[in-house]
Structure 1
Amino acid sequence: MGTREDVYQLLEEKMLKYADYAEVPVIEVDEVVLFEAVPQQGVLRVEHIDAEMSELTGRAIYVRRPVVDMLYAAGQELKSLDRSLTLRVVYGFRALEVQTRLFDEAKESLRQQYPDENELTEAAHRHVAVPSVAGYPTGGAVAVELLRDGEPVDMGTPVMQADRDAFTFSPFVSRDAWEYRQLLRRAMMAAGFAPFDGEWWHFSYGDKEWARYYRRPGALYDQVSFADAQKVDPDADLAL
């Protein structure tokens, strides 16, 4: 199988890169409205874990309207696979301003290793997505994990922690963690999300990653600043 480093490199080579997303057009931009994802008893829990975005959003996690419904569908799919499992959403919309700062920091930390600007951009993108293609600032991407009987299960690495064993198909995690990752991936894809296999927790709908993964003609959503987005309580729109 080769060394551990060889395996990581093989897995990484199969992942889509910034260059794969850069030319994906946005073909359907509607009014920018973000809906709050709310819990559904026994099916979906919503608990923001990022202190920086919580300063802007409080405890709320915002996503596009279809993503709200798709999260419920994924939670229901999980229940059909294993009644003891619950889907927990820990991250959703990220302000474009925050994404830009995080990417710039990643780029600066790698600048000495990658003197070529294109290589530097790709390297930084592997840590933090280039803002122009990033999913979180569109409201279409989410970070999720699994609970069993209300408690987090072993997914191999902590959610949203940079680690190459966070690659969905890393063979260096426990058998239980591997199986939980596949259950999560199956449920989220059944609901219509695209996986990002560089992070077992990351799934999206309507962004450039989703469009590229499913070979759609273009993305449905563009990036947006938090200040420009209209935030809506889902109960004020449609009963969920």
Structure 2
Amino acid sequence: MKPYHQILIVECGEPLVPIPLEQFGVELPHPYQKLGAPYREASPYYLRQTVLTGLITAQNYLQQRYPGWRIQIFDAYRPVDVQQFMVNYTFAQVVQGQNLNPSTLSDAQREAIWQEVYQIWAIPSLNPMTPPPHSTGAAIDVTLIDTTDYPIDMGSAIDELSPRSHPDYYANWSDQPYHTNRFLLHSVMLKAGFRRNPGEWWHFSMGDQMWAWLWNQENPDQKVTARYGICNGDICTI
């Protein structure tokens, strides 16, 4: 279990709603769909209504500072089946990257690889008390694009399994713009009410367990519960 799984979920029943993609940068088809992830009737470009409102607010803050820039959405709602697919895909990629034979992995090797995978990916749990953040419709992976729709360089790719994914990895690299760019993304999302995953520069959420856990650390006298549980299609429950 992750530390944020200690947070109680009190599902508010707010629906998933489609993201107006014309307002944001977006990659079509979706990167995970191109890999064959099993979305079936679901769409990755959905969020809870309040989370979507917050995202629009964050983009407004961005455009006050950089007119014409937009938030680019990499991923939003992710069914648990897709979470499982991507976890398995990442495991296979790590095995291949280390030139290992998947059929002859020792228990120790397998465990070490899973530990590496779960540095980035949440466990694809069906337990309603420990949902993957993206499966609640409250988490989103984003970056920025400029007036020409060119991606702002953040110094590493979204989902990259390396230390460079840590938000502050480039904090002391004064000759590179990456930390400044990450700080800009963080500042507009934070101002809109989001909280960032401590280990991923691209992952933000509002109202889920991770958000509540981070909020409670910042505000020990004003503790909150999570208001978004797991979603299966358009049904969101606890």
What TM-score bracket applies, with the shorter chain setting the length?
0.7 to 0.9
Alignment of 1:65-214 (within 5 A): 65-103=49-87, 112-113=108-109, 124-130=117-123, 131=125, 132-149=130-147, 150-171=149-170, 175-214=176-215
Q: For residues 22-80 of structure 1, what are the alpha-carbon distances to aligned partners after superposition, in whole Å with 9 as ceiling and x for unaligned?
A: 2211023416x211111354xx3333332245853687601111111111101011111
- Output the CA distance in 1 between the equivalents of 2:115 and 2:6: 14
- Output the CA distance in 1 between the equivalents of 2:82 and 2:38: 12
**Does residue 34 in structure 1 map to residue 16 in structure 2?**
yes
1:91 to partner: Cα distance: 0.6
SS in 1 for 2:54: helix
> Structure 1 vs Structure 2: percent identity of aligned residues?
24
SS in 2 for 1:50: helix
Partner of 2:235: 229
Gaps of 5+ in 2: 96-104, 217-222
- Output the CA distance in 2 between the equivalents of 1:159 and 1:25: 29
TM norm structure 1? 0.73
Q: For residues 217-238 of structure 1, what are the alpha-carbon distances to aligned partners after superposition, in whole Å with 9 as ceiling and x for unaligned?
A: 3211112233x638xxxxxxxx
* CA RMSD, Structure 1 to Structure 2 (Å): 3.1
Is the Cα contact below 8 Å between 2:39 and 2:82 reproduced in 1? no
- Output the CA distance in 2 between the equivalents of 1:210 and 1:120: 27
> Counterpart of 1:197 in structure 2: which amino acid?
P
1:163 to partner: Cα distance: 2.3
> Counterpart of 2:26 in structure 1: which amino acid?
V
Partner of 1:46: 26
- Output the CA distance in 2 between the equivalents of 1:170 and 1:57: 38
- Number of positions where the alignment pairs a residue of Structure 1 with one of Structure 2: 206
Gaps of 5+ in 1: 1-17, 231-240
